[in-house]
Amino acid sequence: MSKPELSVLAALALELAPGATPGKSALDVATAGELAGLVARDLAKLVPEAADLDLGLVAGLFDPVELLRPGWPVHAELERLVARAPGAAGGRVVGFGADDAGLPESMRPSAEFAGGPLKLLPLLLRGDPASVAPVGERLEQVLLDTGMAGADTALLAQSGFAVPVEHARLLTLNDLAAMMAMQYEHVGLAPMWPLLEAALLAPGAVQWLDAPPEPLAVYENGGVRMALLDIDAWAEGGFAPADTDAGRLARAFERFQMRQRQLAAVLEAHGVPVTFDHCPAGRDPRSVLAE
């Protein structure tokens, strides 16, 4: 029976120059292997024991929402492919690049999320739990503060993807989640974060968003249910402002509906399905969602 394996899930993050568009979304196989070797070296400089683990890297440009999804699907596929890679386990370095057919479909960045200044190359370190656990713990401690990639690593990424790169750094998926939580806070999406965090880190949990005037929602059983309210139920449920002017109330209700659509779109971009449950006037919408 083969020994169980454990992985540290991470990424090479490229901060692109403002307005820059990559000339390529994926590197060729040879360049992917070269870049993986440089990343392995960078990690070993920070935590020497990392050199004893297998490293796999996908040389494609992903948006944060594609990596921060329940079950970490891109990394799960990367883990499967690294496990099948030839050679004796322990210290293998494998870069997955695009052949004539492109990257494997299961690890191909979506054109839907091709924009944005932050691009991520998924990577992982894999080995037996006794070796991986201390490396993972150390990387969680040091990468966020000291995880800048080497200058030659950044230059290879810049030339390979044909795009100006302002910063290249290594980070764990926990680091990435913390960064995204801060970004969402800056753009007014902090109330949604606990729902996404539960989906990512505690999929068996129940997490509510119950903070009027924000939409009412609950994460449970792998998805989010959001209360679908008409204007009367919205007013009864305590989501409306204290205003008696019908015109202003109608506009506030339209903004509430737009907010619902905004939160649902972000959650679904992260792979969290959202369903709307009709909550009629005269019933507590919280009790409807709790059914």
- Locate tokens 């503060």: which residue? 145
Say what the pLDDT of residue 47 is: 95
pLDDT, tens digit, 9 for 90 and up, residues 236-257: 888 888 877 888 889 999 999 9
pLDDT, tens digit, 9 for 90 and up, residues 2-24: 456 788 999 999 999 999 999 99
Q: How many CB atoms lie within 10 A of CB 93?
A: 21
Span of 28-37, 194-203, 233-242 with lowest mean pLDDT: 233-242
Q: How far apart are CA 125 and CA 138, in angstroms?
A: 13
pLDDT at 230 over 70: yes
pLDDT, tens digit, 9 for 90 and up, residues 255-282: 999 999 999 999 999 999 999 999 988 8
SS3 (DSSP) at 282: coil
Mean pLDDT over each residue of the chain, to the nearest integer: 92
250 phi/psi in degrees, rounded to 5: -65, -40
Q: How far apart are CA 252 and CA 185, in angstroms?
A: 22
Q: How many CB atoms lie within 10 A of CB 209?
A: 19
Say what the pLDDT of residue 2 is: 45
| pLDDT (mean) for 61-74 | 96
Q: How far apart are CA 133 and CA 152, in angstroms?
A: 29
Say what the pLDDT of residue 100 is: 65
pLDDT at 1 over 50: no
Residue 204 burial (CB < 10 Å; 0-12/13-18/19+)?
exposed
